[in-house]
Amino acid sequence: MERQLTEALEQVLADLMAARDSRGHWEGELCSSALSTAVAVSALAHAGQAGSESGTADWNLVAAGLDWLAANQNEDGGFGDTIRSKSNLSTSILCLCAWRLTRTAEKYQAPYRRCEEWVNRRAGDTAAKWAGAVRDFYGTDRTFSVPILTTCALAGLVGWDEVPRLPHELAVLPQSWYRFASLPVVSYALPALISMGICIHRNRPSINPWSGVRSLAAGPALRVLGRLQPENGGFLEATPLTAFVALSLAGAGERSHPVVGKALGFLRASAREDGSWPIDTHLATWVTNLAVKALEDADRLDLLANREKVAAYLLNQQHRVRHPFTGAEPGGWAWSPLPGGVPDADDTPGALIALRALGAARPREKGAWDWLARGIGWLGGLQNRDGGVPTFCRGWGKLPFDRSGTDLTAHAIRAVAPYRNDPEAHGLAMVRLEIRLLVEGGLEYLARQQREDGSWLPLWFGHQDAPGDANPVFGTARVLLAYRDLGLSDLQEARKGVRYLLESQNPDGSWGGDRGVAGQVEETALALTALMDQVAPHRTGEVERIREGLGWLCRAIREGRHRDAAPIGFYFARLWYFEKLYPIIFSISALGRALRAPVYHPPGDQTWVE
């Protein structure tokens, strides 16, 4: 058994180290997205520079994108967010919009008709039914329903009366007031609120006193939008959001606005050679943090000969000024060092944990831990009244992706856990209260969020085959790691979580997103990592279940399945993605921890002998 574990670990370690870039850290590779590609070509065609010097280049990108869509249509005629995703209504409708806005529906008649037939089967055969299906799917959260319907209206697929209005005038309020303004979009979708609010207002005029206010607010709101746009033009480094903004402003008669020009520049720069676009440029900070932690789990940080350089790379990414997009205070980390990144409560704990692993938190001269105090203080300032931690902004709790998250809260707890007993030794006396509240309040929040079956649901990760697209295996694994790092594995909540994971294991030894869901490398590795330090050696039945899981994981790696990442991540408004490094990184943690614990590979065990 030890031999198989070692061979599997060496394989994934080799794959991880080969994926480093020339600077010594990781950039990763996000999947191409049909949704991103559809909206990008729509924006370039509708808002681009046709007829000008750059027009030919834009249309070359459009043509390549449309060819990519036609080549990656699902067998049922619809489109999913990724090439490994099931067809869904949002992406399929946006692909129809792309063909209409580029005036190529006739050229791509066969894929267009197949897609249209799929949408008719899914939503009905009238424009009103299409619009109603989109609104019903997203409910009160208009973050994504309005962009889709705005694009449909610009493409002539639905009438403007089907598009809900967005109050762009609220964007001119002081940023600190946003949490009280009941915005119908999540905190990070303000560019959509502004651009689409203006577009809808100008295409769907109304006769009431408030209409005049909205007209007067358009200019100030556009100035706010300009201040929110990063220097490279990409809002959140996200192709969909940036393309939606350009498309909507063009539809509002603002084609020559500087925001449109910068957004189109971002889209041109982020197109891939095969004609597609990803949902985001990359997750370089996030995957580097995960990679470092995985190497520590496997006791293989020796592979990082330049760990000081990696630490400096991460330290340089800590935000040191108030962020114009969300108003976040200094001290946090984003998922990427690029201008569109925004500090958040998953990447900040990830950076704190990785930097500790790299030795950046060892005793040094006075002031050496300022970055650590700022990071912990930033997390403490984000904590909600319910004890949980949200993604970007404190207090924006009404819409799904602005509420506290169990996965985020657990990650924050893990980041501060090493410093909770003796913060003065690390120069952290000033954030003693934040450490205590993050741990105590976070544990109370997690206890309340635990479901009857012992599981926890994560905010930012899901599974396409699980009920409600949820991924309780992922969420439970993330939370159990927090109990482990606090030394609280014997708590009732932790034992219930362990029981849920063990009961969710498939007969073949693997885990999927929930009970009865086919196994994947990602969830199997995560579940194993979480279980290993929670299961005592005398619980022989549980130990045997872990060995079975390790056997499945080793076989999957031997067959190369760890190189086929599965759709597991959510982006804003449940937009699926996959990242090719996830299964590699997660496997390193699981295998590395298994090899460090002999109970999982006793001498002479013949379980895996072929």
Quote the percentage of the chain above a pLDDT of 70: 91
- The per-residue DSSP string of 367-381 comes to TTTHHHHHHHHHHHH
- Give the pair of three-digit tokens for residue 365: 């001269």
Q: Are residues 7 and 95 in the same domain?
A: no
Q: What is the largest CA-CA distance in the chain?
A: 82
Least Cα distance to 414 among 480, 330, 472 occurs for 480
| Domain presence at residue 305 | no
What is the pLDDT at residue 394? Answer: 81
Q: Count Cβ atoms below 10 Å from residue 589 Cβ, excluding itself.
A: 24
Same domain as 17, residue 45: no
What is the mean pLDDT of the segment spanning 238-249? 95
Task: Label residue 497 by pLDDT band (50, 70, 90).
Answer: very high
On whether residue 507 sits in a domain, the answer given is yes
Which whole number is the average pLDDT over 320-343? 88
Residue holding tokens 């976070």? 442
**What pLDDT band is residue 50 in, cutting at 50, 70 and 90?**
very low
pLDDT at 12 over 90: yes
Q: State residue 396's pLDDT score.
A: 59
What CATH number did the domain enclosing 387 receive? 1.50.10.20
* SS3 letters across 456-483: CCCCCECCCCCHHHCCHHHHHHHHHHHH
Amino acid 204: pLDDT: 87
* Three-state SS at 515: coil
Could you tell me if residue 185 is left (phi over 0), alpha (psi between -120 and 50 degrees) or otherwise beta?
A: beta
Write the pLDDT tens digit of every residue in 459-486: 989 998 999 889 999 999 999 999 999 9
Residue 288, in any domain of the structure: no
CA dihedral 159, 165, 168, 169 (to 10 degrees): 130
- Confidence (pLDDT) at 393: 81
Residue 284 belongs to some domain of the structure:
no
Overall average pLDDT of the 175-196 stretch: 67
421 Cβ neighbours under 8 A, 6+ residues apart: none
Residue 588, in any domain of the structure? yes
Q: How many helices (H) and strands (E) does the chain have?
A: 22, 4
Residues 224 and 265 in one domain: yes
**The residue type at 386:** D
Average pLDDT of span 373-397:
89
**Among candidate residues 403, 434, 449, the one where a domain is terminated:** 449
Question: 399, 141 in Cβ contact below 8 A?
Answer: yes
The answer on 439 and 548 residing in a single domain is no
pLDDT at 507: 96
pLDDT at position 427: 77
| Model confidence pLDDT, tens digit, residues 312-324 | 999 999 999 888 7
- Verify that 190 and 136 share a domain, yes or no: yes
Question: What residue has token string 């969909």?
Answer: 240
What would the pLDDT profile of 522-533 be if each residue is shown by its tens digit? 999 999 999 998
CA distance 443 to 488: 10
What is the C-alpha separation between 93 and 133, in angstroms, rounded?
11
**pLDDT higher at 326 or 85:** 85
Domain tally, the chain: 3
Among 395, 428, 449, the domain-final residue is 449
Inform me whether the pLDDT recorded for 264 exceeds 60.
Answer: yes
Q: Which of 449, 484, 512 is the last residue of a domain?
A: 449
Model confidence band, residue 539 (pLDDT cutoffs 50, 70, 90): confident
Look at residue 522 and tell me if it is in a domain: yes
- Strands 575-577 and 569-571, by their bridges, are antiparallel
Look at residue 355 in the predicted model and tell me its pLDDT.
96
pTM as predicted: 0.92
Residue 122 lies in a domain: yes
Q: Residues with Cβ < 8 Å from 591, sequence gap 6 or more?
A: 5, 8, 9, 12, 298, 550, 553, 554
- 195 and 255 in a single domain? The answer is yes
- 407 and 550 inside one domain: no
H or E element at residue 567: none
Averaged pLDDT of the chain = 90
Residues 338, 209, single domain; the answer is: no
What is the extent of the structural domain holding 254?
A: 33-278
Band of residue 428 on the pLDDT scale cut at 50, 70, 90: confident
Residue 297 lies in a domain: no
Q: How many Cα neighbours within 13 Å face the side chain of 169? A: 11
597 against 92, higher pLDDT: 92
Contacts of 386 (CB under 8 A, 6+ apart): 397, 404, 445, 448
Are 273 and 124 contained in the same domain? yes
pLDDT, residue 193, reads 86
Q: What is the pLDDT of residues 289-316, one digit of tens each?
A: 999 999 999 999 999 988 899 999 999 9
Q: Which of the four pLDDT bands, split at 50, 70 and 90, describes residue 49?
A: low
pLDDT digits (tens, 9 = 90+) for 220-240: 999 999 999 999 999 999 999
Is 86:464 a contact under the CB 8 Å cutoff? yes
pLDDT score, position 610: 46
pLDDT band for position 363 (50/70/90)? Answer: low
In tens, the pLDDT along 87-134 reads 999 999 999 999 999 999 999 999 999 999 999 999 999 999 999 999
Please state the rounded mean pLDDT for residues 384-405.
80
Query: Are 202 and 417 within 8 A, CB to CB?
Result: no
Question: Residue 48 and residue 167: Cα distance in Å, rounded?
Answer: 26
pLDDT level of residue 609 (50, 70, 90 thresholds): very low
Two structure tokens written together for 45: 């065609």
Q: Name residue, tokens 């060819």.
A: 67
pLDDT reported for residue 53: 55
135 with 270, same domain? Answer: yes
Average pLDDT over residues 409-415: 98
Q: Give the number of other Cβ atoms within 10 Å of residue 162's Cβ.
A: 18
- From residue 187, alpha-carbon distances to 179, 331, 414 in Å are 9, 19, 25
Contacts of 244 (CB under 8 A, 6+ apart): 39, 43, 147, 150, 151, 192, 195, 196
Q: Tell me the backbone φ, ψ of residue 592, rounded to 5 degrees.
A: -65, -45
219 and 328 assigned to the same domain: no
Query: With 80 as the cut, is the pLDDT of residue 181 above it?
Result: no
DSSP character for 238?
Answer: B
Joined together, the tokens standing for residue 118 give 């799929």
Residue 397: its pLDDT value, please? Answer: 54
595 and 468 co-located in one domain: yes
- What is the arithmetic mean of pLDDT over 63-69? 97
